[in-house]
């Protein structure tokens, strides 16, 4: 794994991010690896990076990364124990859309509720 990380393998950096951020509870180290994988066109790394930025309060940068790709819908991390941090909910509240958008369901997204519902689906996926 170390050789892959040193060689700049985006997949290795993504795996290291999951280990550091979620399993070892070292979010700063994890985000460093995740940023590398996202900037090197690793789709899943980009998806995670965008959502983690948004749920930790970096809304604009997260939204920029979110807009880069069309996201996969069949991703799961149910086997990895993940702690839902209180700040995630707080940051979701900051960009919560009007109630009318909330009634439409997660799959029906407009420009107003797109990012919020994307974060909501991400949290559902990892917890």
pLDDT (tens place) for every residue of the chain, 127 residues total = 899 899 999 999 999 998 998 889 899 999 999 999 999 989 889 989 999 999 999 999 998 888 875 544 444 545 445 566 777 778 888 888 888 887 777 777 787 788 888 888 888 777 6
Pick left, alpha or beta for residue 92 (phi over 0 → left; psi -120 to 50 → alpha; otherwise beta).
alpha
Q: How many structural domains compose the chain?
A: 1
C-alpha distance from residue 22 to each of 79, 108, 109, 116 (Å): 12, 30, 28, 22
Give the pTM.
0.59
Radius of gyration of the chain, Cα coordinates, nearest whole angstrom = 15
Per the CB < 8 A criterion, the answer to whether 42 and 18 are in contact is no
The backbone torsions φ and ψ at residue 30, rounded to the nearest 5 degrees and listed phi first, read -60, -45
Domain around 65? 2-126
């Amino acid at each position: 794994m170390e050789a892959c990380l040193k060689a700049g393998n985006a997949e290795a950096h993504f795996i290291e991010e999951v280990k550091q951020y979620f399993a070892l509870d070292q979010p700063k180290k994890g985000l460093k690896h995740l940023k590398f994988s996202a900037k090197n066109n690793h789709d899943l790394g980009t998806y995670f990076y965008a959502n983690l930025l948004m749920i930790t309060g970096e809304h604009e940068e997260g939204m920029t990364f979110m807009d880069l790709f069309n996201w996969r819908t069949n991703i799961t991390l149910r086997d990895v124990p993940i702690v839902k941090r209180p700040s995630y909910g707080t940051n979701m509240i900051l960009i919560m859309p009007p109630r009318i958008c909330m009634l439409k369901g997660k799959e029906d997204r407009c420009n107003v509720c797109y990012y919020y519902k994307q974060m909501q689906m991400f949290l559902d996926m990892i917890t």
